[in-house]
Amino acid sequence: MGQAVIGRRTFLGATAGALAGVAGAQRVLGRTTRPPAATDVLPTQVAADPIADQARALFLDQDAIFRFVADEVAYEPYAGALRGPRVTLAGRAGNAADKALLLAALLDAALVRTRFVVGTLDDAAAASLTGTTVDPEAARARAQAVAAAAVPDAASEQPSPEIQAMIDRLPEIDAAVTAWAAATTDASVRTIVDALAGAGIQLPTGAAALPEQERTHHVWVQAEVGADWVDLDATLVGATPGTTIATATGEPLDTLPDDLRHRIDIAIVGERIAGDGLEQETLIEHTLFADELSGVPLSIGHAKPEGLQGLGLSLEQLVTGGVSYVPWLQVDQTSIIAETGLLLGTGEGLFDTGPGDRDGEATAEWLDVTIAAPGGRVTTTRRALLDRIGAAARLAGPIDPTTIPSVELVDLSPDERQEYPPLRSLHSLTIATGATAQPSMAGMRTDGERAITALGLPGPRYHLARDSINATVSLDRGVAIHLDAPNVVLRSDLLAVQPDGTLSASAVLDLLHRSFGTLPTSTSSAAVPAGVLAGVTSHVAERLRGGEGLPTDLAFAPPTISAGAILDRAAVEGIGLRVIQGSLPTDLAVPAEAVGALTEALAAGWVAIGPERPVTIDDSPRLGWWLVDPATGATVDLLDDGRGAVLAENVALMMWGFNIMAFFTLLGVCLASTFFAIQRFMAASPGASALDIPIGAFACPA
């Protein structure tokens, strides 16, 4: 594997056609909405240094800073450093490690020297953290403040008639969405619990155990005061300077070691023909740490080698008989470019060796996202960016490369000729570690080069919708839900040639990794297993992002495909549910795309709940499952195409949605009756559609 790392501006300057595929598709489909111009900037920039601003607001006073982190930043249990100081500050919540990172950052801004200490908790100290509860009213107020801050201010303008019409309907829309979210959550939870009970499976109730990593690697800060170092353990409300709830197990550290941080490994893997078989090669690999990813855009695409030659890269030269593309990964201001490209044959012979030689021709490309949590838990999710063979053929057995059809090239425009549409698609990753705040929503890029990164905004909007539901529906049911690992969303703007030869463009939101922690509220006991509720509310947010729950005249077509919608349809069609444990039953025809994920989950001890046979949605047979870990109650959904969830919109059908955006910031609290809230969201949301409605509202005036 070889790859080059260069500056983002240099890369974009050398590959002006990086977005050619999407631009060409817009022209082909007759899209009239103006895409973001290269000189556009967001109306209000994210604060350059919110840590310094907060420290100044506390008068750079060490005692005031300690009291702020201890008393106003809530404790949430999870393993290791996940959010970093900015997300912990924005969401006003974190575990011991993240609260320590925030405290150290604020003290550093106040010119106080600090260091970190790691230690272990005894049983009494661990019990004090396990017994943490959440005041639901305080949690709602915190969520409302975070959501409201996620959208920057914008200069007011007179609303268009379409926008004013949406403003006038906000109370109606909010009531419909609130009622739908609550009813759908309750129905889905009941379906899961009843199905498992019928199979003799009882889920755990009560508070979750403290993560072992949080017990054995408790983190706090020491501050230099004169000639002494003073312990500052701000984990719990009311903490006292000079004391700690843990026993140190090593020497103080200037920085936290990487093994105490959540790591994210991103790899792009290519497959090509090699003689009579196939071989794989890692084209790009890059390691990130979750606590550094607040508001950082990650984009994936492909460029033609001729567009990269001006950069002086040592690229593989791919010659006659095909077309070639080089994958790239952009992480904020850095571009990582593969030095080996993907060669696609057109049947004319490659490398001038004759029509029969297909060695080196690309057959597939995958994106692998690996989450490594402190303490050893590692999960990898693979998604196909290109697969010319297909899951069914791969599952069936050995593959004969000579049977793979040659690619068909199309002209996207007079300036974009002989293109392979699937490799002109664009992808973006959004990684959430805590409450969705302003850096994620409004600060993804503010330097005028946001044409690519704007594609990532639907990811934060999904996270915002989930946060809103957690702050209302979940709290009403006695459970406070938080993220306890990186939650990763893949947004893909896909180009494809249909069987009739027409070009299509669609946007797909795919949830690659979800993980939630829960705490009981202080006012009521959970009526349902907390892990199930956390998974279901995340799923309800997916369905809301797909347009469900809106008044009938605002509903979208075609219908959203989701596991919940599939189980709902099964109930309508009178199809019973099946609980699957251990291995796949031989009498259930599981689509090849889902076999791997479903088999892996069952082998790991998860239980699948799905229809006894496929249901019909949009004239197609579909299957979907709830996956539940009976040991913890953790719940996720899986579709028959192997994805965690898919929210797709046809660009040609949904263009009207770009003109009727409404903004909500907190479901069920109160509606924004002013135009300013609408304008702020629209100004901060380039390329938004009606699918991008976050849920909730600002507090209304009395």
Tell me the per-residue pLDDT of 289-341, one tens digit each, with 9 for 90 and over. 999 987 787 899 998 887 666 565 554 444 445 788 999 999 988 889 998 88
What pLDDT is recorded for position 195?
96
Res 17 pLDDT > 50: no
Say whether 124 sits in a helix, a strand or coil.
Answer: helix
Nearest alpha-carbon partner for 435 in 675, 665, 171 = 665
Q: What are the Cα distances from residue 31, in Å, to 23, 315, 404, 505?
A: 9, 35, 34, 11
Note the pLDDT tens digit of each residue in 142-164.
Answer: 887 777 665 544 444 566 676 67
Cα separation of 127 and 103, whole Å? Answer: 23
Residue in the structure block whose two tokens are 């021709």? 361
Q: What is the DSSP letter of 447?
A: S
Higher-confidence residue: 2 or 96?
Answer: 96
CA dihedral (431, 688, 534, 519) positive or negative? positive
Cα separation of 654 and 409, whole Å? Answer: 27
Res 687 pLDDT > 70: no
What pLDDT is recorded for position 8?
65
Pairing label, strands 74-75, 93-94: parallel
Q: Are 264 and 307 in contact (CB under 8 A)?
A: no
Res 2 pLDDT > 60: yes
pLDDT band at 660 (very low <50, low <70, confident <90, very high): very low
Backbone angles phi, psi at 625, to 5 degrees: -140, 145
Rounded mean pLDDT, 55-81: 97
Res 246 pLDDT > 80: yes
Res 53 pLDDT > 80: yes
Cα separation of 443 and 154, whole Å? Answer: 14
Cα separation of 693 and 663, whole Å? Answer: 6
Res 698 pLDDT > 60: no
Cα separation of 702 and 694, whole Å? Answer: 23
Rounded mean pLDDT, 267-271: 98
Rounded mean pLDDT, 107-120: 98
Helical H segments across 390-529, by residue range: 391-396, 438-441, 458-469, 475-476
- How would you write 516-566 as a 3-class SS string? EEEEEECCCCCCCCHHHHHHHHHHHHHHHHCCCCCCHHHCCCCCCCCHHHH
On the question of a cis peptide bond just before residue 559, with omega within 30 degrees of 0, the verdict is no
Rounded mean pLDDT, 655-680: 31
Tokens found for residue 552: 């009938």
Tokens found for residue 280: 């794989």
Count other Cβ atoms within 10 Å, centred on residue 561.
Answer: 21
Domain boundaries, given as residue ranges, for the chain: 1-34+263-418, 50-138+209-255
Say whether 134 sits in a helix, a strand or coil.
Answer: strand
- What is the b/e burial string over 253-288, where b = at least 16 CB atoms within 10 angstroms of the residue's CB? eeebeeebbbbbebbbbbbbbeeeebeeeebbbbeb
CA dihedral (37, 38, 44, 47) positive or negative? positive
- CA max distance for the chain: 79
Pairing label, strands 646-650, 503-513: antiparallel
Helical H segments across 261-377, by residue range: 305-308
Nearest alpha-carbon partner for 566 in 581, 577, 556 = 577
Q: Are 476 and 137 in contact (CB under 8 A)?
A: no
Higher-confidence residue: 615 or 652?
Answer: 615
pLDDT band at 411 (very low <50, low <70, confident <90, very high): confident
- The pTM (predicted TM-score) of the whole model is 0.85
Lowest mean pLDDT among 90-104, 259-273, 320-334, 466-480: 320-334
Q: Are 178 and 701 in contact (CB under 8 A)?
A: no
The CATH number fitting domain 50-138+209-255, selected from 3.40.50.300, 3.10.520.10, 3.10.620.30, 3.90.1300.10? 3.10.620.30
What pLDDT is recorded for position 689?
41
Q: Are 300 and 21 in contact (CB under 8 A)?
A: no
Rounded mean pLDDT, 188-198: 95
